[in-house]
Structure 1
Amino acid sequence: MRGCVSKRKNGTYAYTVEMGKHPETGKRRQKMKAGFATKKEAEQALNKTLMELGRGSYIEETTESVQDHFLKYLELKRPNVRPGTMKTYKWLVNYHIIPKLGQIPIAKLKPAHLVAMYERLRVEDGLSPQSINHVHKVLHDALAIAVRHETLHRNVATLVKPPKIPKTKMKVWTNDELSQFLDYAKPYRYYMIILLAAACGLRRGEALALRWIDVDLEAKTLTVRRSYTRGEHGHAFHEPKTKAGIRTIAMPEIVVVAMKRQKALQAQDKLAAGPNYKDFGLVSQTKRGLPINPYYFETRWLDMLKKSGLPKIRFHDLRHTHASLLLKQNVHPKIVSERLGHSSVGITLDRYSHTYGIDYKAAEEINRLIY
């Protein structure tokens, strides 16, 4: 490889490198870079380029903008992520990353650009630390792909730390509070969804997607095989994110009894709706047999919660309540983990052990042994 440095008319310096012939066309190839203030700077840059070419580590600097790269990134990710995740990626890219960084050439992107963007997202857009962390993860992933494809030398996102996410204490009910609410909610149409979260640890989408073919009343078990969650175009049924999400759970007697009552309720619905009944085969569905809209259910849940007079919690906190009550009763964490569909028992222990009094039990045991 050969190269030379030359002075330009405006007083700056440039270097030119002979890149050899094009493997397909046979035409001569040259690489030229200008804009150096001194001859020494141009020579140093030339020597670095010649060394990289000699080692085979040279990457031709791309002229692609951040916007161009991230739009291609979205198309690249589409076949490999769930529709709901894709919708989130599009929101992060189109409403936050591109408006703030889109016109910058991706090869010129610096850590300072990211630091400034995160501050603008916090101050101007009012994004939470959690959302800014999501932006950071997408940035990191997209730039890592550019590095792997050899269009970038480095991933600047690795040099920047997103804001810390403050830890929030989970809110759960006591067993008395849970029993009180279940008694209150029993006459309501969507009692079964609430019961599946509280007594079996199901997520909202899992409870909404549960079918009768997934329930074995004789064995008193149910199997979680899918979830009714947000997609790119409304809600749809999807498989769980992990293999652990597909699981078979033993149902307590309160759920078995409620299941039999639910069958009778749906038989009445079918009779009343006649030919207008579109049976999706779900354990919980509308009077016409359709899937229940998660947003509509959320409004009904909040209404019931307000009228019950009990401490306010999120619907998802029923799942946390389920886990905490089991751990307090010394049910093995592995069993609790499997009921929740966690990918490892470590997630369960990390999330619940100190929050729900497990550490106090350890203190009591050591005190009993040595005091």
Structure 2
Amino acid sequence: MPRRGENIYKRKDGRWEGRTLKQTGKYQYFYSKSYKGVKEKMKNYKESQGNTREKKSGETRGGAVLFEDWLVDVSIRVKPSTYESYYRCMNKYVIPFFEKEKNQKITTGSVSRFVKEMYENEELADSSKKKNLTIFKIAVKEILKGSADCFAIMDLIKYPKPDDKEVEVFSMKEQRQIEQAAFHYTDKRALGILLCFYTGIRLGELCALKWGDIDMETGTLSICRTVSRIRHFEEEEHKTALFVGAPKSRKSMRKIPLPQFLLSMPVLAVFKNRNQENYIFTGTDAPFDPRCFQKLYKRLLKEARVKDRKFHAIRHTFATRALELGVDIKTISELLGHSSVSITLNVYAHSLMEQKKAAIEKFNDMYQLNADVSGAFIKNDYEIMEDSYAG
């Protein structure tokens, strides 16, 4: 069976189809009656391409060529959305850097200079620098695997410290205003905003929901896919297409209990009459475009007279409300679908500090209560202590 990221699919006509990216940026397609047949054809193609490149007489394989080859090799191993990130990073930053000097190789010197250039790029946020350096490190590790310099070069790729800024969240008042606006909005798809406020799901996960993902008997919502708009490599340079695939990580495949008020909404009461394979927000077998939902969200904020924030602020708001209600961090991490609890701790460090302060305040309340009940005794104890120090 096909593995995640292989780019091998079974067609409606029963045949298997595979694809791999050529150096031109276009896909090479392969067809067979079996999964094994397609995989074998793709393997042979990769080997032939590698042999062709190695046979080029007198060619010194500089860093730019090696990164181009890596892009071709990795294209059949990762999701299209992941590959788009790799492609953008390599072609916008890495390959142009290594093309500056003819046949510049991957050495401690060239890697150090690239990392320095990335750090000094004032147009990029620290989070973007970290993302690009992460991709760069993945590529360097795979290209230099087994070489004597691999570990020394890898140690040079350090990530910038994360931006020390709080996540954006809606206040309780703003959340109520948005919820009221969603209930009365003419486009009933706006109710999807409520789903995000009370489950913390991502925008792509919301747009990829099907009616069959809602289990009314158990009162749960299954998250098993996401939709994103990515570059369409078979078409012109700037064309994009919707891609439905697996969620961000294995932990993102999850079941989320739904609040009773959501389960009681009329729109869900009649869901059993819907085609379970249809997407909730389109009513068809095609998903809703996240870009269109973004526009709907922006209009809703104006309607609610709430300051504009990124859609992801809803997810942050869900996590913050959960912390305020005393939900433990492990449960919040599982509900959000984070790959590890440490991610949740890092993202919501400020909110956690507020919770710690609130917890310590309870000790202050306890002290005040004790002081009210036995104030004279406490006062006398302090006077005795002061006298002993004075003496």
Provide the TM-score with structure 2 as the length reference.
0.67
Report matched runs for 1:265-344 at 5 Å. Answer: 281-285=278-282, 290-344=286-340
Asked if 1:352 corresponds to 2:385, the answer is: no
Contact 1:140 1:158 (C-alpha < 8 Å) held by counterparts: no
Instruction: Give the superposed CA RMSD.
Output: 2.9
Partner of 1:127: 124
Q: Offset at 1:141?
A: 1.8
Partner of 1:249: 256
Name the aligned partner's letter for residue 150 of structure 1: S
Q: Offset at 1:68?
A: 1.0
Partner of 1:118: 118
Partner of 1:189: 188
CA distance in 2, matches of 1:346, 1:84: 24
Q: Offset at 1:306?
A: 2.1
Q: Offset at 1:174?
A: 2.6
- 1:343 aligns to what SS in structure 2? coil
Q: Offset at 1:112?
A: 4.3
Q: Offset at 1:262?
A: 5.2
CA distance in 1, matches of 2:154, 2:103: 15
CA distance in 1, matches of 2:193, 2:68: 40
Contact 1:193 1:204 (C-alpha < 8 Å) held by counterparts: no
Q: Bigger CA drift: 320-329 or 158-167?
A: 158-167
Count of residue correspondences: 296
Report matched runs for 1:1-371 at 5 Å. Answer: 63-102=60-99, 103-108=102-107, 110=109, 111-118=111-118, 122-123=121-122, 126-150=123-147, 152=149, 155-186=152-183, 187=185, 188-233=187-232, 234-258=241-265, 260-261=266-267, 281-285=278-282, 290-355=286-351, 357-368=354-365
CA distance in 2, matches of 1:226, 1:235: 13
Q: Bigger CA drift: 299-308 or 146-155?
A: 146-155
Contact 1:249 1:339 (C-alpha < 8 Å) held by counterparts: yes
- 2:163 aligns to what SS in structure 1? coil
Q: Offset at 1:145?
A: 1.9
Q: Offset at 1:256?
A: 1.2
5+ long unaligned stretches in structure 2:
1-58, 233-240, 369-391
Change (3 A) 1:104 1:115: farther
Contact 1:177 1:310 (C-alpha < 8 Å) held by counterparts: yes
CA distance in 1, matches of 2:333, 2:344: 6
Change (3 A) 1:107 1:310: closer
Change (3 A) 1:97 1:367: same
Q: Offset at 1:300?
A: 1.6
Change (3 A) 1:151 1:82: farther
Q: Offset at 1:160?
A: 4.5
Name the aligned partner's letter for residue 77 of structure 1: V
Change (3 A) 1:92 1:266: farther
Name the aligned partner's letter for residue 321 of structure 1: T
Name the aligned partner's letter for residue 261 of structure 1: V
Q: Offset at 1:219?
A: 2.3
Q: Offset at 1:74?
A: 1.3
- 2:264 aligns to what SS in structure 1? helix
Q: Offset at 1:193?
A: 2.1
Superposed CA offset, 1:183-208 (max 9, x none): 11123332232112101111111111
Change (3 A) 1:71 1:168: same
Contact 2:60 2:103 (C-alpha < 8 Å) held by counterparts: no
Change (3 A) 1:70 1:209: same
Q: Offset at 1:227?
A: 1.0
CA distance in 1, matches of 2:132, 2:98: 12
Change (3 A) 1:144 1:318: same
Change (3 A) 1:314 1:254: farther
- Structure of higher CA gyration radius: 1
Q: Offset at 1:90?
A: 0.3
Contact 1:279 1:289 (C-alpha < 8 Å) held by counterparts: no
- 1:367 aligns to what SS in structure 2? helix
Superposed CA offset, 1:33-67 (max 9, x none): xxxxxxxxxxxxxxxxxxxxxxxxxxxxx942111
- 2:94 aligns to what SS in structure 1? helix
Moved over 6 A (4+): none
Contact 2:226 2:244 (C-alpha < 8 Å) held by counterparts: yes
Name the aligned partner's letter for residue 335 of structure 1: T
Superposed CA offset, 1:97-135 (max 9, x none): 111223443245614421453266x15xx3333222222
% of aligned pairs identical?
25
